[in-house]
Structures are given as C-alpha cells and as structure tokens.
Amino acid sequence: MTSLRSDARRVRDARRGRACATPVHGGGAVATVGAVIVTTVAVLLALGSPPPVVLVAALVILLVGAVAARRVTANLLAGLGLLIVRPYQRGERVRLHTPDVAAVLDAEVVRIGLLNTTLATTTGVETVPNTRLLRTPPDRPSSR
C-alpha cells in the first residue's frame, strides 16, 4: 500500500512540474567545443594569423565538435522541432512504443525540453530523449 501511495505521489508531483528527473546533459560537450574554439582563436590571433585563417579554423573545430557530439546535436535539433511544431502539449496522454524492450509506455507529458521530454507513468517519472519521440511517434490513447 505504501508503494502505491509513493508512486501516486511521484506522478502527482511530476504533473505539477516539481519532479526532477535526470535530464540528458549536453552542456559538457557544448562547453568543451566552445572552450577549444576560444582557445584556438586566441592562440591564432596571438601568433598573428590573418582573420580568414582564424575563421576557417574556428569553423573546422565547430564542425568536428558537432560530429563528435552528434547525439547531443540530434537531441537538440529534435527538441527545437518539438518546441516549434508543438505536436504534444503538457498534460497530454501519449503511448510510446519501445522496441528495445518490446513494451508500450502509457504516460503523460510533463515537460518538453531542448534535449529530452519528461513523462509521468504509473510507475514513476521517465525521461526520454527527443530523438526517440521523433523516431517512434507516440500514439494518443483512445479515451474509453
């Protein structure tokens, strides 16, 4: 009985937006690429390199960083798409098919962020990368 109450409390808190699910963090990769670009630009300028060389070097580092952090980049682009198009609203019920575990997840959308979406289920709070929402679009459960 206590387990059911705690599960119900987690779902209720998630619906209120107070639940703190573990998000997909992308700040580390972005900060690292930014630091490398700034350092490279500073060194090239200190060595007296012409501005076109500095610009090309910065663009090459940015491109390499985006490829290296492709998972973060993909989730960021998917999140921007979800936030612009808004196919799902906060509080909406969705059914997400998860082929890796051959299961169906019935959940309520709690938060749509830049990198991930937080869903409240009957067993707790789940955080799903935004690329997963775009890869396997959730069904809207019938209201029976």
Instruction: Tell me the per-residue pLDDT of 24-42, one tens digit each, with 9 for 90 and over.
Output: 455 676 777 788 888 988 9
pTM attached to this predicted model: 0.56
Closest CA to 79 of 128, 116, 107: 116
Q: 51-104: per-residue pLDDT in tens? A: 999 999 989 988 888 787 788 888 888 999 888 988 888 888 888 877 666 778
Nearest residue to 36 via CA among 56, 62, 66: 62
Selection from 33-47, 97-111, 130-144 with the highest mean pLDDT: 33-47
Q: Give the domain extent around 121.
A: 2-26+69-135
Number of H helices, E strands in the chain: 5, 4
| E strands, 1-144, in order | 93-98, 103-112, 116-121, 124-129
Query: Is residue 32 in a domain?
Result: no
Our count of domains for the chain comes to 1
The answer to whether residue 44 is domain-embedded is no
The verdict on residue 119 lying in a domain is yes
Q: Cα–Cα distance between 144 and 142 in angstroms, integer?
A: 6
Note whether residue 141 is domain-resident.
no
Q: Is residue 117 part of a domain?
A: yes
Whether 49 is in a domain gets the answer no
In this prediction, residue 87 carries a pLDDT of 85
Determine, yes or no, domain membership for 56.
no
